[in-house]
Structure 1
């Protein structure tokens, strides 16, 4: 199953994003963390040249520098508050998650920038994602000690 690309904060729906992004790379250039990469032919012909975030490598740290520099409107320039970002939603594979298998692990919970809101710990100290509050930045996916990550950001379906 191929994973849809994770887009920078403020991105419109995928079909609209693809048609409105002018592939100028300004969002990638302004990203201080180098989280935003430009999709190559290997990522697929339809997304080639567009900005993508590969959270397992470098997640989005929600600095919010990319939306204001987008000249085409593919990224919502008015977006300022990190809690309003909707890049995707983190999903936990409970069969692979250490905490869900009885080993104490709080990596995703402690790393989440929407602390104790987007990811909470249940009574048995297992992480639970609040889909309404998760912004989809991918920091949880990046810090997950399991390989492949037991928590991944999925796009669409919101």
Structure 2
């Protein structure tokens, strides 16, 4: 049985050398996870972050305004001149990008991407019911790319 801590620097070097020699090959699933993490290191830097500027679940509606029937929640995200407005209802999500431009909008949860929908020339899009938990939206047009902060839509 080995004593710990070793009584000399030489004994410590022998222990460290044995640990390094006996490690064996790196398991494939470790390599796959490392490569996946490495490929995502710059993905967020390539996209402008649209911060949440309005959430009807938290913010008060302006005085005198009335809510449209069926809208459970309205959210607005902004990144510079780009605005992403979203309405969440029991039947799904509708929204609009401004400035309006055709493109794609994808949505992901902690489990991965769950929607990828077209954005029409007027900037409109629609998706199904979002999952519970945090969601991030990513919009891409010919002139801009933007992602939202993570937010629970329901």
Instruction: Please indicate the TM-score interval, normalised by the length of the shorter structure.
Output: under 0.3
More helix by share: 1
**As a proportion of its length, which structure holds more strand?**
2
Which protein shows a greater Rg? 2
TM-score by length of 2: 0.27
TM-score, with structure 1 as normaliser: 0.27
